Amino acid sequence: MKIAMCATEVVPFAKTGGLADVAGALPLALEKLGEEVIVIMPYYRTVKNMKQVKIEKLKEDVFYSVIGKGVKVYFLDNPGYFDRDNLYSEKTGDYPDNLDRFSYYSRRALNLLKEIKFKADILHCHDWQSALVPVYLKARYSRDPFYKDMKTVFTIHNIGYQGLFKQEEFPKLDLNWELFNMEALEYYGKINVLKGGLVFSDVINTVSSTYSREIQTKEFGFGLEGVLNKRRDSVFGIINGLDYDIWNPAKDRFIAKTFNAKSIADKAKNKEDLQKLSKLPLKKDVPLFGIVSRLAQQKGFDIIAEGIDEICRMKVQMVILGTGDQKYHDILEQMVRKYPKVISLHMKFDDALAHKIYAGSDIFLMPSHYEPCGLGQMISLRYGTIPLVFKTGGLADTVTGKNGFVFDQYNKEDLISTIKKAVSAYKDAAKWGRLIAAGMACNFSWDASGKEYIALYKKAKAK
Ligand code: ADP
């Protein structure tokens, strides 16, 4: 199959979130599985300034680079739109011309396909920034034989970001006003770009199967649950893969001692290292909880904050790495002053320390209130660190009673009682060993998810 990935951020060129990881890794997995893939993204300033990759000029406004063996990544150049400090926003908020920028990107991407004669079977689009691709394809391009048979797959990475714009901006899209209605791009008097993607694409998916069901409910749908519900037969979920080259305890250059499932005893050296650098007592028999996260309500910090005093009074240790909301910074700092031998706080973004926490902790705490996919729990499983999660989204799909601890009522009491359960299980070495073994045996590689995407593309082709 010929697949064109339309994504506005792609690792290693530009990244603000998980979408970039997927858009960078999935094409490589698909290439390994024998598919023909190209990627199309804007030529941002960060890409222009990259020294370590080779970028070549294709034509006046198109450049390209190669990832993997032969996946071409095309960069669409428009200095007025993309030669800026950031991708989507500045300090004062979103760039005011985002609708111009990403409608331009979507049309230019479609035109490029014909110019390079890439007659794609599938256009795989991601999030609101490329959601106009399926809209333009159906509304403007499908009469052209070159585009007629192309199908679209649309992936939602976080339904909270929808690309909402004022009605007055609609003429910029150069689409018939008929499309400004409730069944298409209108949402309560505004333009909702994401909604356009959901209505016009052939197949919709999101980054875990549970999240694909959750976004069809009022609690998690951010107002688009009705639209998704109407299309429920075309909504699917595929868990993101993990980059096993980066997250591998047997080869990790950041950690004190590498280990694998067979040499799990060496994990203890990483615990000791983590305790040392976190200035916690060097105790082997006290369970060490790790957190690597944005300090945000979405990640469960409201119930953590409510319960933290009680948790610190248990026989545990806790290392937290993260930045985020000031109110959680304040609460956690207060706890560090109160319980300096129990809790250690690192308020920064630090990749090396993140690796050390995944490797050195016994339990990984990730009680997110909602979680489209989540990486932290998958990384910790790989490092023999038992995840403790709230049953939602990708957490529900990857963590079970066999490899971790799961609670299903989102409140402080259930969080605390599950932590107590984990602390007591930790005392039973044989049981703990079984949990570790089950976690380390899980496979969240891109190979597995790549195969699922191919099956999804086939479904789209059959539409
Ligand atoms: P989200 O993308 O919603 O923040 P994920 O669990 O999908 O959450 O991914 C978060 C990723 O960012 C993980 O790989 C995690 O290790 C990393 N991360 C989060 N905060 C930090 C931090 N302060 N320092 C280093 N890595 C971090």
Amino acid at 2: K
The alpha carbon of 350 and the centre of ligand 1 are apart by a number of angstroms equal to 10
Q: Sheet containing 235-237: give its strands across.
A: 56-59, 62-67, 71-76, 36-42, 2-6, 122-126, 151-156, 203-206, 235-237
Q: What is the pLDDT of residue 246?
A: 87
CB 286 within 8 A of CB 312: no
123 lines ligand 1 (CB under 6 A): no
146 lines ligand 1 (CB under 6 A): no
Q: Is the pTM of this model over 0.75?
A: yes
377 lines ligand 1 (CB under 6 A): no
292 lines ligand 1 (CB under 6 A): yes
By residue count, the chain amounts to: 463
Q: What is the pLDDT of residue 17?
A: 83
Q: What is the pLDDT of residue 245?
A: 85
The alpha carbon of 353 and the centre of ligand 1 are apart by a number of angstroms equal to 12
Rounded Cα–Cα distance for residues 300 and 365 (Å): 9
354 lines ligand 1 (CB under 6 A): yes
Structural domains of the chain, with CATH: 2-241+447-461 (3.40.50.2000), 261-442 (3.40.50.2000)
Among the listed residues 106, 117, 94, the one whose alpha carbon sits nearest the alpha carbon of residue 139: 106
On the question of a cis peptide bond just before residue 145, with omega within 30 degrees of 0, the verdict is: no
Rounded Cα–Cα distance for residues 20 and 10 (Å): 4
Series of mean pLDDT values for 10-residue runs along the chain (463 residues): 98 91 96 98 97 95 97 98 96 95 98 98 98 98 97 96 98 97 97 98 97 96 97 97 92 97 97 98 97 95 98 98 94 97 95 96 97 96 98 98 97 98 97 97 93 98 95
Strands (E), 44-169: 56-59, 62-67, 71-76, 89-90, 93-94, 122-126, 151-156, 164-166
Amino acid at 384: G
Angle between helices 412-426 and 301-312 (to 10 degrees): 50
Q: Of the residues 127, 157, 294, which should be mutated to test ligand 1's pocket, given the most ligand atoms within 8 Å of the CB? A: 294
The alpha carbon of 174 and the centre of ligand 1 are apart by a number of angstroms equal to 39
208 lines ligand 1 (CB under 6 A): no
